[in-house]
Structure 1
Amino acid sequence: SLVPLLKGLKPKWRDSLYYHYFEFPSYHMVAKHFGIRTSRYKLIRFYQFDEWEFYDLEQDPDELSNRYGDPKHAKTIAGLKRQLDGLRTAYKDNSDVRAMPIEWRKKYRPGRE
């Protein structure tokens, strides 16, 4: 509702956004994934390939350097994973997120098995 804004009240804005991308395989071949984005960080799970990506958007706004395995970010990533699980539950996202068989992953992610 916009009523609180019209009354001049300051709403409690959310501090993170959940999203889920489903179109794979398709024209531009971006794998199915879901993620969470805050003002500073973005955590993505490419569940069919059992892969994660994490970006510090303050340091890397173009998302060129995946920092998921960096121990320096372990605490932040753990917190984002908890938030991500909570958001998936809140939005009742019960999609099948199992990884695909290794043969399938070899076809679409050669060199990453």
Structure 2
Amino acid sequence: MTTMLEVTDVTAATCCAPLVREPLSAAEAEDLASVMKALADPARLRLLSIVAASENAEACVCDLIEPVGLSQPTVSHHLKVLTNAGFLSRSKRGTWAYYALVPGALDRISQVLVTS
């Protein structure tokens, strides 16, 4: 399973080399595809956007269940995928988990796709 550290290292390394400027190595392409796969789900995109739009770009899992209309275990699974991909960080407060947008995580992906 990909860890947040591995994903951060890969996206940081590829952020300076947009796809149209130089080819990705096989390992870079595989790692980037894994990260992008985390975004390739409508529920995950919604969850990421809800967290990003929340106050301080942070939200409690308890506030994420109703807006996406999924069960708590399913929402938790999607949040775990986004966390493992390096888009969200997780902190525990009492019995609740809070998720925050990792600063720069979306910027690293967008820089890979930049054409100019």
Task: Report the TM-score when normalising by structure 2.
Answer: 0.31
Q: Whose RCO is larger (CA < 8 A, sep 6+)?
A: 2
- Asked which structure has the greater CA Rg, the reply is 1
Bigger share in strand: 1
Bigger share in helix: 2
